[in-house]
Amino acid sequence: MIAKTRERLILDSLDSIVIVLDSTLAITYYNPAFLNTFSLPEGASSIELSSLFTNNDKLLKTIKPIFEGEKIDSKGWFRINNEMFWLDINGFLDKRENEAILIIKDKSKETQLIELKGKFEGLFNFSKIAIAFVGTDGKILMANPAFLDYLGYTATEFYSMAFVDFTYPMDIDIDLAYYTQLINGEIDSYTMDKRYIHKDGRIVWGALTVSVVRNPDPKKTFALGMVEDITTKKESEMALKNYQKELTELVKELQMVNKDLESFAYSISHDLRAPLRYVSSFSTLLKRDSANLPAKSLKYIDYINTGVTDMSGMIDALLQFSRLGRQEIKQMDIDLSTLIPRIISELEAQVQNRKIEWVIGTLPKTSGDYYLIRMVFENLFSNAIKFTKNQEKTIIEIGTKGKSIYVKDNGVGFDMKFKNKLFGVFQRLHKNEDFEGYGIGLANIKRILNRHNATISAEGVLDKGATFYITFRNIIFL
């Protein structure tokens, strides 16, 4: 054992850890530096090396040859008391005392700093995020390759610049204001979306985050800036805003045009009534004084009266179409399984001479204006009755398919190449003498459904019937 001699005094004064072991690998001496790094169990005056270096059998096997005169030099991470240390261990034999002397240098912090530096350099150099260190005066101290690529400068060019030199003029004041607060200690960090000027003159957008790294020496204080390229995102946002603005303006124009058309339709339908009344009145008077008129003239008068009646009906239809665009929607829950049978019952009373088989499936609930939705199905059922009048037996089916409600009949149908005309005002796919009407019922239906955010479509086959599908936004199956 090392006695309190000059030799021990020297070992006690060393910064390196010194451990002396006997041949059983029990620690017989440790200098004060040992206790600065490691700790002994409470009350223990000695300790086995194996209990200090747990799970390090390789090291323990390496130390044993010291007693055979070998020197050891081992470096690496070791677990001691559940902590990891990077140690540089040198060992040799004190032949006089037959003791192994281990001189250990704890390089944990130094090694951690080296490893941390390596990780940082990897992160700094290979990061896709642009990173730069900036002095308190705004000068660029260091920048990673991503920042140089982002703005197109060489390192030499970039390090001669301050960040205001490549900041878009409109963004300089706000960036400088934040930066001044940061350096003065008023804030710890700030973020902003800002514009930069690329070397080629184009503008690029970046999401900037800046934080400060302070040092007791103000000259060594610097800022860390990180920039994510958001140019594509900003260009997309601006394109979307422009599109939304154009769309809003277009909607306003369409609303104005639609309002003008509604006003025109309402006005013209009223204005047409006066001349129609004149025609009707004078033809009636003419027929009253028709004693001397030939039969052919009387027939012409009948044609005039029939035309007046048809024209009056069309004006009424046009007025109704116009009103539908202005009528207030009164929302309420509508149970179609109750409404539809009620409509059918009323229609059947008007066509008692017809053989009609109604096939009604499971029907859902929806919401909307009760009287307008009623008008939709009244029109559809009336059309189905009208266009099946030549059938020996009429079959009208109402049910659901997916999220749609359908109305199907076995009537005359229609040619699908004309389906785009179905919902137009005064558009008819059949002759007037075959099927009465003004060609505005389906236009009314479409307008009502549009105002309910619902859609209507149709399928048809000539002489085999037609099917209409209505899809509501809000629909609940019972």
- Under 8 Å between Cβ of 344 and 454: no
Residue with tokens 């040992």: 34
159-174: buried (b, 16+ CB within 10 Å) or exposed (e) per residue?
eeeebeebbeeebeee
Q: Which two tokens stand for residue 313?
A: 């009906």
* CATH 3.30.450.20 domain position(s) in the chain: 6-107, 127-229
Largest Cα–Cα distance of the chain, in whole Å?
Answer: 161
pLDDT digits (tens, 9 = 90+) for 421-441: 777 665 555 555 555 655 677
How many helices (H) and strands (E) in the chain?
Answer: 13, 18
124-to-119, 155, 229, 416 alpha-carbon distances in Å: 8, 14, 16, 66
Average pLDDT over residues 327-348: 86
On the question of pLDDT at 91 being above 80, the answer is: yes
What pLDDT does 179 receive? 94
Note the pLDDT of residue 437: 56
Could you give the CA distance from residue 423 to residue 376 in angstroms, rounded to a whole number?
Answer: 13
Joined tokens for residue 44: 């223990």
Residues forming beta bridges with residue 224, ordered by sequence position: 133, 211
453 torsion bin: left (phi>0), alpha (psi -120 to 50), beta (else): left
Residue 386: the pLDDT is 86
Please tell me the distance from the alpha carbon of residue 417 to that of residue 431, in angstroms, as a whole number.
17
Neighbours of 212 (CB within 10 A): 20
What average pLDDT does the segment 266-278 reach?
A: 66
> Sign of the CA dihedral 370, 373, 379, 384?
negative
Task: Tell me, rounded to whole angstroms, the distance of Cα 98 from its chain centroid.
Answer: 76
pLDDT in the model for residue 379: 85
Q: In angstroms, rounded to a whole number, what is the distance separating the alpha carbons of residues 20 and 27?
A: 6
Side chain identity at residue 258, one-letter code: N
Q: How confident is the model at residue 468 (pLDDT cuts 50, 70, 90)?
A: very high
Per-residue pLDDT tens over the stretch 56-79: 676 777 778 888 888 888 787 777
Could you tell me the CA-to-CA distances from 293 to 67, 129, 298 in Å, in that order?
149, 98, 7
Helices (H), 127-168: 145-151, 155-158
Cβ 228 vs Cβ 199: under 8 Å: no
Mean pLDDT of the chain: 81
Work out the end-to-end distance of the chain between its first and last CA atoms, rounded to an integer number of angstroms. Answer: 95
> pLDDT tens digit string along 282-328?
777 777 766 677 777 777 777 777 777 766 666 665 566 666 666 67
Confirm or reject CATH 3.60.150.10 for domain 127-229, answering yes or no.
no
Give me the CATH topology for the region 6-107. Beta-Lactamase (3.30.450)
Q: Bigger pLDDT: 12 or 465?
A: 465
Q: Which CATH number fits domain 239-324: 1.10.287.130, 1.10.1040.10, 3.30.70.100, 3.40.50.720?
A: 1.10.287.130
Query: With 90 as the cut, is the pLDDT of residue 230 above it?
Result: yes
Write down the architecture of domain 331-476 according to CATH.
2-Layer Sandwich (3.30)
DSSP 182-194: HHTTS-SEEEEEE
pLDDT at position 225 over 60: yes
- Pull the structure tokens for residue 248: 């809003």
Distance CA 56, CA 82 (A): 12
Of these ranges, 144-148, 319-323, 415-419, 429-433, the one predicted with the greatest mean pLDDT is 144-148
Beta carbons within 10 angstroms of residue 99's beta carbon: 18
- The partner residues of 398 in beta bridges, in order of sequence, read 360, 407
Structure confidence at residue 168 (pLDDT): 95
Query: What's the half-sphere exposure (Cβ side, CA atoms, 13 Å) at 237?
Result: 6
Residue 165, pLDDT above cutoff 90: yes
Is the pLDDT at 234 greater than 80? The verdict is yes
